[in-house]
């Protein structure tokens, strides 16, 4: 059964708020006059991207019979917030900790790649919603929905590519330790999506 402890829920909420604030600062480009509008919109993209990314790790780990729990990383929270003022965000506020006496590299790699794959799927969903808006996107409400989808697309593709960097403790290092070809293909896809949709949207 998939269970959440009170501490885990607290850590997820704190991390979510800090990461959402970081992306809001990043996308504000130094102009915080519309932060009240941008923050709630960013929260949707980050909420979907960050929460489901971590749940992807947790559920796959539990599928393999391991106990897994999200734990925030205080230093990572500070780095994420500070880095957002410099045009980049170090999006590693915490991680799903898997409790085991030993784990095969393949299993660890599959658990690790689950989060970025979730982000890629979510990014595509946000984009498909965006292109399906049609003329509705030119209405006041439609504009907000479109902006939410644009940021949701960008944020999720970024989270996928960032987490696939082969740098410990990021997911990419564990995926690469399991299979270099799998890591290379997945990272290439995520990076390409960032390049395409970062400039297109």
Residue written as token pair 């410099």: 86
Residue 54 a catalytic site member: yes
Cα 1 from Cα 51, distance rounded (Å): 18
Cα 159 from Cα 21, distance rounded (Å): 15
Cα 183 from Cα 177, distance rounded (Å): 9
Q: Measured between alpha carbons, how far apart are the two ends of the chain, in Å? A: 40
| Cis peptide leading into residue 169 (ω within 30°) | yes
Q: Confirm if 18 and 77 have CB atoms less than 8 A apart.
A: yes
Residue written as token pair 């290379």: 184
User: Of residues 8, 54, 69, 71, which has the active-site annotation?
Assistant: 54
Residues marked as catalytic: 54
């Amino acid at each position: 059964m998939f269970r959440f402890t009170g501490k885990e829920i607290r850590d997820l909420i704190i991390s979510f708020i800090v990461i959402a604030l970081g992306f809001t600062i990043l996308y504000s480009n130094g102009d915080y006059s519309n932060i009240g509008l941008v923050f709630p919109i960013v929260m949707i993209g980050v909420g979907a991207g960050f929460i489901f990314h971590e749940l992807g790790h947790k559920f796959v780990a539990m599928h393999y019979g391991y106990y897994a729990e999200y734990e925030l990383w205080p230093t990572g929270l500070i780095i994420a917030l500070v880095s957002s003022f410099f045009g980049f965000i170090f999006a590693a506020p915490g991680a799903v900790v898997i409790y085991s006496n030993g784990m095969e590299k393949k299993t660890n790699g599959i658990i690790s790649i689950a989060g970025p794959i979730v982000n890629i799927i979510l990014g595509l969903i946000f984009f498909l919603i965006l292109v399906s808006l049609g003329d509705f996107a030119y209405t006041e409400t439609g504009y907000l929905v479109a902006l939410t989808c644009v940021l949701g697309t960008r944020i999720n593709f970024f989270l996928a590519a960032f987490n696939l960097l082969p740098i410990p403790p990021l997911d990419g290092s564990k995926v690469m330790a399991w299979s270099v070809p799998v890591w290379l293909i997945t990272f290439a896809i995520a990076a390409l999506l960032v390049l395409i949709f970062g400039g297109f949207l």
